[in-house]
Amino acid sequence: MKEEDVNRCQIQEWYPRFKLVSTRTFIHELPESFVQYLLDDSGPFLLPVSISNEDAFPNRIHNPEEEEDYQVSEGSGDEAEPLSPPSFPELELKIKESIETLGGAIFPKLNWSAPKDSAWISTSGTLRSSDSLIHDLCHAYDSCSDKTLSRPPNFFLALRKWYPSFQPEMEFRCFVRGQKLVGISQREVTTFYPVLCEKKNDLEVLIEEFFNGIVRLKFESNDYTFDVYVTQDERVKVLDFNPWGAFTLPLLFTWEELEQKPREGDDLDCRIVESRCAVQPGLKTAVPYDYLDVSAGSGWDQFLRNAGEELQRQTKSPEAGA
């Protein structure tokens, strides 16, 4: 994989060419000060001050006890000046205007990735708990054979229109090897959808025609993946492009399998979850990678160790026998 292959998968690069066959999107270049704000891991994560005084989490339940956890009591010896949250007024106004134009509900992503796993906030309370975000900011070129860059020169925030009628079973990941479509996988592999068993052949034909008629002619890399959504009226929409291998999940395939394709005479391989026994719950993409691993030293291993130590501490405390 080359740097140019990774660069082509940035949304600000591919979206202008596929705009007519994708979901409506507004793209904003992020100021470097905002990028550094995302990268800053030196202290607690502070939400930017809103110039319109809007709550960043308007639907949250207010819990005064949570605020007490972050207050420093008088006489504690910690007299450090309180940190001032940052403010990005120009960016905030642009984002707000775009969200309103897109109907009030959007799906955000950076150059390559959507921070779906940021819902899993670490105890430090920082956005560094999002592997997807940190991948874009720090590690996008790590698997390139000609790596010269540690990060792209500019970062972008894409705001994509969210459709309430979106059906996760109609999203698919497509694998292109040598400019040939060699594999199609159900994207949401943690659930069995009976309707896919009925429509599998028709969906395969629709996606293959879309690739040959549009994607193959406009996307220049030899090896890559792209995600599509098939609408109820059987239109195919491009959702995303990703590099071949590296951080891209192969879903119902393995990269070893895909590397062997295409061989002479191979047919397009379309895979879906064909029974409830075949679901893959470990492939939830909305959690950090560390928490998909339960081996020694993994996120779950550390979490369980901490939980066990806390349980022992509570059991041994005087209050436990009261």
DSSP assignment of 44-93, as one string? ---PPPPTT---SSTTSPP-HHHHHTTPPPTTSS--PPPPPPP--HHHHH
DSSP 8-state secondary structure symbol assigned to residue 22: B
Preceding omega of 48 cis (within 30 degrees of 0): no
User: Helix, strand, or coil here: 203?
Assistant: helix
Mean pLDDT of the residues in the chain: 81
Q: What pLDDT shows up at residue 177?
A: 95
Identify the pLDDT of residue 48. Answer: 82
SS3 174: strand
Instruction: Tell me: pLDDT of 121 over 90.
Output: no
CA distance 91 to 30: 8
User: Which pLDDT band holds residue 306 (cuts at 50, 70, 90)?
Assistant: low
Q: Is the pLDDT of residue 43 over 80?
A: no
pTM of this prediction? 0.78
Q: Are 242 and 226 in contact (CB under 8 A)?
A: yes
> Can you give the pLDDT at residue 243?
95
pLDDT of 267 reads: 85
Residue 314 has pLDDT above 80, yes or no: no
Residue 7's SS3 state is helix
Q: Is the pLDDT of residue 78 over 70?
A: no
How long, in residues, is the chain? Answer: 322
